[in-house]
Structure formats: structure tokens, C-alpha cells
Amino acid sequence: MALGSLRPSPLVEQATEHLREQILGGQWPVGTKLPGETALAASLGVGRSTVREAVRALAEAGLVKSRQGAGVFVVSTEPHEDFGTRLRRAAVAEVYEVRAMIEVQAARLAAERRTDADIEAMVAALAARRLAAAADDAAFVDADIALHSAIVAAARNPVLTDLFAEFAPALREALVDLVDLLGLREADPATGDAAHAALVSAIASGAAGEAEHILDAELSATLNRLRR
């Protein structure tokens, strides 16, 4: 089966996509054994190492599985979605629900674990958020996320920090849409400044319950508006 030669770069990504199309398009049904590396390499016009990497990517997506001594077989026509892909497809309200779950607990932990350096970072981020009130929605959202990132970092949990970092791009996209959808900055370009200042103050003073309450109230109010 001739699959068509590929452009020089990026070869692995292109090879993966070509093979994925064959599987999702039904040319190779579940249970089918893929052609060998040499045959696939010739059809795609790439080296065997490129094919090997492409097949590995398909295996990670749950589409194929290697059986020792038998070859590589198609095991599914529904690829697994990684976390980032699923987030990009999520509705704004869904993203916000997860945001509340992550950040409210992060605020409590930050109040319990923050260092002087963390406090300085949050104060600086709050000041930058205020300055960004004069900018467009995207710049303001970036400044807002930077402040929340500083709060999450102050929780001193590397797993939580990594989770928020992966979550942040989808959150940014959702927030830019949200600001426009709800007109959050029409009356107040620095919307939420008082709550954010109170949040930073609570964390700095070690008031974990207060920090948790402030952020929960703010996020819940926005989420309720989204659900109406």
C-alpha cells in the first residue's frame, strides 16, 4: 500500500500522522498486523528509525501494540487523549471547576508553607496585575495567571506546581474567553483587585482558612455566573 512520500521535516510527526490516518480511516482494522519497518519506511520515504519512533508514538496513544516475535498489531481505533489535549477541548465551565479544585487547596497550603521569597513574589505579581489593568484582556489575563502561579508555587508541592503549569495554557484560553463573555472588565479594568489583595494578605499572614475562603468565594461566584 503506497502511503505517499513525506516532506523532510518533521519526519517522525508526519510519519505518525500518516499511520494514524490509516488506522482511524479503517484501512488497518483492529487486529490487523502492520507492515514491517522496512515496508513502511519504503512506503513513507523515511528511514526505519523514523518508522520505529512513529510506531512508538502510536503505541503510546493506545492504537497499536507490539507482540514479541509476532509484530505490531492494531488494538484500537480510538486514540487516548493526553491531559493537554483534553483540556484544550474542555468547556470554560469545566476548566473553571478544575481550577477551583486545584487553587483553593493551593491557597491553604501556601498560607501554611510560604517563605519570605514567596511573599515577595506574590506582592510583585499583584502589582504587575494592577499595572496590566491598563492593557488588553490577554495581557491582563497573563498577569492574573502569573499571580495565581506564584500562589501555587508557595504551596511548596512540586506535583501541584507541575499540574498547574500543564493546566495554565488551557486556563489562559478559558479566561480570555471568560473576560469577554461576561464583560468582567467593562466596569472595572482591574476586576477582582480587592479580593486578590486580600488573598495575598491572608497568605502572607498565614491565615490558611481565610485564604481558602477568599479564593473559594471568588471562583465560585464566577462559576455560578457561567452556569446561569
Q: How far apart are the C-alpha atoms of 122 and 165, rounded to whole Å?
A: 17
Residue corresponding to grid cell 490577554:
138
> Rounded to two decimals, what is the model's pTM?
0.64
The answer to whether the CB of 92 falls within 8 A of the CB of 177 is yes
d(CA 115, CA 13): 43
Q: pLDDT digits over 57-95, tens only?
A: 888 888 889 888 889 999 888 776 555 555 555 567 777
What does the pLDDT read at residue 1?
47
**From CA 34, how far away is CA 36, in angstroms rounded?**
6
How far is residue 15's CA from residue 5's CA, in Å, rounded to a whole number? 9
Residue 55 near residue 19 (C-beta atoms within 8 A):
yes
User: How many whole angstroms from its chain centre is CA 160?
Assistant: 13
Residue found under cell 501554611: 112
Measure the CA–CA gap between 164 and 181, rounded to whole angstroms: 24
Residues of the chain with pLDDT below 70 are 1-9, 80-91, 228
From 105, 101, 89, 126, select the one nearest 201 (Cα to Cα): 126
* Rounded Cα gap, residues 112 and 6, in angstroms: 55
Helix, strand, or coil (residue 94): helix
- Contact present, 18 and 3 (Cβ < 8 Å): yes
For residue 8, the model assigns a pLDDT of 43
Sign of CA dihedral 58, 62, 67, 71: negative
96 and 219 in contact (C-beta within 8 Å)?
yes
